[in-house]
Structure 1
Amino acid sequence: MDQGVTDRTIGLAARSRHPLVALAGQFTAYLGVGLVAMVAHYGTLVALVEVGRLDPVAASVIGYACGGVVSYTLNRRHTFASDRPHAQAVWRFALVAGLGLVLTGLLMALLTRGLGLPYLAAQVLTTGIVLFWNFSGNRIWTFAVRR
């Protein structure tokens, strides 16, 4: 079976359910993908800080970018079952992620330098805040296809 047909079928099934049930299922899938992307992000962060002795804010930003590659790939196919062409989706994803990246850098600087929190605690708080921004932006704008 053509993978595109399967993806569109999954997307249609999600839209045919009650909107809140579909949203909850989509958010759950987003969280699962987010966990995989978080491993890439945090793994990079810890490696760069502990082994590379890089500043935690810079390491967090690099880790965020690594997690972003994982996130785009898995969310496009599994969370949002989007058939938006890559040429349209990639730049939208990059813009949403870029704004999330700026938010990540600002929050990490505020929490580590301004409030003196340990970098991992600051990263956990930052991740929680940026999670809702990224889900909303990607759901509403990046992967949504208006028909």
Structure 2
Amino acid sequence: MNDLRTLGARTESLQQFIKYLLVGGLNTLISAAIIFAVQAAGARPVVANLSGYAIGVAISYALNSKYTFRTAVSRYTAIRFLLVLLIAYLANLATMLAVLHVTHAPYIAQLCGIPVYVIVGFLGNRYWAMRERAG
């Protein structure tokens, strides 16, 4: 019986991870489109980038809370979601800098940071940010 529960939990985790990747891919496309559109409208690159990322974070939170983790939208989960994004970014940055230091290959270093960001983000959201509050 425990084997079935373990298998069920693993299947659920895998399904959530796949949904998380799909939401991330869609979010990346939408954010990039917003960045390019705002920049094409005459905004400076930093403003366009900030606009795209701000909207992207909001979309990511909405889709992941509803679709991936099926958690109610609340201030509590939103703050935790933002903290997870920050931690995932810092893990990405640390990985990128470490690989850059060892390889002196900036493109490889950037690529190495991406899976770290995704995995830290997923685990942080699954096990902390998007968990329902007890009591």
Give the Cα–Cα distance (whole angstroms) in 2 for the partners of residues 142 and 102 of structure 1.
Answer: 17
Deviation readout 1:78-103 (Å, 9 max, x if unpaired): 101102x4211111011111111212
- The Cα of 1:53 is off from its aligned counterpart by 9.2
* Structure 2 CA distance for partners of 1:132 and 1:62, relative to 1, 3 Å: farther
- The Cα of 1:123 is off from its aligned counterpart by 2.7
Residue 20 of structure 1: aligned partner: 10
| Amino acid across the alignment from 1:133 | V
Question: Secondary structure at the residue paired with 2:18?
Answer: helix
Deviation readout 1:14-39 (Å, 9 max, x if unpaired): xxx92222222111111111212344
| Amino acid across the alignment from 1:18 | G
Give the Cα–Cα distance (whole angstroms) in 2 for the partners of residues 62 and 126 of structure 1.
Answer: 21
Matched, 1:122 2:109: yes
Contact 2:88 2:116 (8 Å CA) reproduced = no
Question: Secondary structure at the residue paired with 1:70?
Answer: helix
Alignment of 1:45-60 (within 5 A): none
Identity of paired residues, percent?
24
* Structure 2: stretches of 5+ with no match in the other structure: 1-6
Matched, 1:37 2:35: no
Deviation readout 1:59-118 (Å, 9 max, x if unpaired): xx96995553332121111101102x4211111011111111212222233334653223
* Structure 2 CA distance for partners of 1:73 and 1:30, relative to 1, 3 Å: same
Contact 2:91 2:120 (8 Å CA) reproduced = no
Matched, 1:91 2:73: no
Contact 2:95 2:116 (8 Å CA) reproduced = no
Report the number of matched residues: 121
Residue 64 of structure 2: aligned partner: 75
* Structure 1: stretches of 5+ with no match in the other structure: 1-16, 55-60
Give the Cα–Cα distance (whole angstroms) in 2 for the partners of residues 146 and 21 of structure 1.
Answer: 23
Give the Cα–Cα distance (whole angstroms) in 1 for the partners of residues 102 and 51 of structure 2.
Answer: 21
Contact 2:92 2:117 (8 Å CA) reproduced = yes
Give the Cα–Cα distance (whole angstroms) in 1 for the partners of residues 20 and 31 of structure 2.
Answer: 16
